[in-house]
Amino acid sequence: MTEEKKQEFWRWTESNWANPDMEWNKAKFITAGIDVGSVSSQAVVMADGEIFTYANMRTGSDSPNSARNALNFALKATDMPEDRIDYCVGTGYGRVNVPMADRSVTEIACHARGANFIYGPEVRTVLDVGGQDIKAIQCDEKGRVTNFLMNDKCAAGTGRGMEVFADLLGVPITEVGERSFQVKEEPQAVSSTCVVYAKSEATGLLRKGWTTEKVLAAYCRAMAERIYSLVERLGVEPAFAITGGMAKNMGVIDRLMPMIGLEPAKTKWDTQIAGAVGAALFGYALCQKGKGRKDTKREKQRMTSDK
């Protein structure tokens, strides 16, 4: 029997990055933030509140392992040993399953803080479109959350739904945005809210003779509309920043921004690391307050070994 190897259209490349000029030896506090999401995991290591290294990977079926892999992948780009990390904060869906975390913080607080760092302090509204949920957050100039709204009721309007569509239509996930604009006229949005139903609706549209591009356009529009209905409830104040994987999908973002009537803020950083950056910054702030030094960690270890 011969087996045909099928291309995984939803797969995106995992990456890591380190700042080669950073002198981590001289840093007072090294903190790590690990964001284990439903689809992707990120680890960021910061030296005195500056990004030293990060990694962006796919979450497998095992959250603790994903956290470990992401941190190892980030440290692989550097020569720093893991035990140099003073404080580690876990965040995201799998935050309670990060084995090396000293504390867990919700992704809402982390994304606001992270966006404040990677997009700059003028950001007032943060939209995080992740693998499984949408979060709209308002924050002040210090990145403190003032109002938030989250929709995690179902996967519609999120990254995982887009992956399902990429796979269904045989379009690599990175090309979805571009391909969705190759239509003569903009179609109506896919009406189903649920990804499973939207998928069967798309199959029906393909049978009716719609091109792949037209179906992509209809789904991107549906996502943009769904995201807008949540953002509208919270209200939008400039500057407006988008974090998470969906920020890389221009098919959705270019349809969403005219509805909001603003330009999205720009950054040189990977938008997916915002949550982990926020977590590492919280770790740094807790260290500065004297709450998170090594001794507390050692004490914890001693307590567990006594038992």
CB 35 within 8 A of CB 275: yes
Phi, psi of 191 (to 5 degrees): -85, -25
Contact status: 203 vs other proteins (CB under 8 A): no
Only segment of 80-88, 162-170, 216-224, 282-290 that touches other proteins (CB under 8 A): 282-290
CB 95 within 8 A of CB 103: no
CB 125 within 8 A of CB 96: no
Nearest distance in Å: CB 109, other proteins: 5
CB 242 within 8 A of CB 127: yes
CB 132 within 8 A of CB 160: yes
Nearer to other proteins, 16 or 63 (CB): 63
Contact status: 286 vs other proteins (CB under 8 A): yes
Contact status: 152 vs other proteins (CB under 8 A): yes
Contact status: 15 vs other proteins (CB under 8 A): no
Contact status: 98 vs other proteins (CB under 8 A): no
Residue 22 token pair: 């950073």
Q: Collapsing DSSP states into helix, strand and coil, what is residue 293?
A: coil
Nearest distance in Å: CB 146, other proteins: 6
| 5 secondary structure, DSSP code | P
Binding residue for other proteins (CB under 8 A) from 109, 126, 162, 223? Answer: 109
Nearest distance in Å: CB 189, other proteins: 14
Which residue has tokens 């199959």? 203
- Could you give the dihedral angle defined by the CA atoms of residues 149, 153, 157 and 163, in that order, rounded to the nearest 10 degrees? 130
Nearest distance in Å: CB 138, other proteins: 8
Report d(CA 301, CA 306) in Å as an integer: 9
Nearer to other proteins, 26 or 153 (CB): 153
Contact status: 233 vs other proteins (CB under 8 A): yes
Q: Tally the residues of the chain.
A: 307
Binding residue for other proteins (CB under 8 A) from 119, 240, 282, 284? Answer: 282
Binding residue for other proteins (CB under 8 A) from 230, 246, 273, 280? Answer: 230
The interface mask with other proteins, positions 19-58, x = CB under 8 A, is ----------------------------------------
What part of residues 111-150 is at the interface with other proteins (CB under 8 A)? Answer: 144-150
Contact status: 182 vs other proteins (CB under 8 A): no
Q: Which helix (H) or strand (E) holds 296?
A: helix 294-306
CB 111 within 8 A of CB 271: no
| Residues making contact with other proteins (CB under 8 A) | 103-106, 108-109, 144-154, 193, 229-230, 233, 282, 285-286
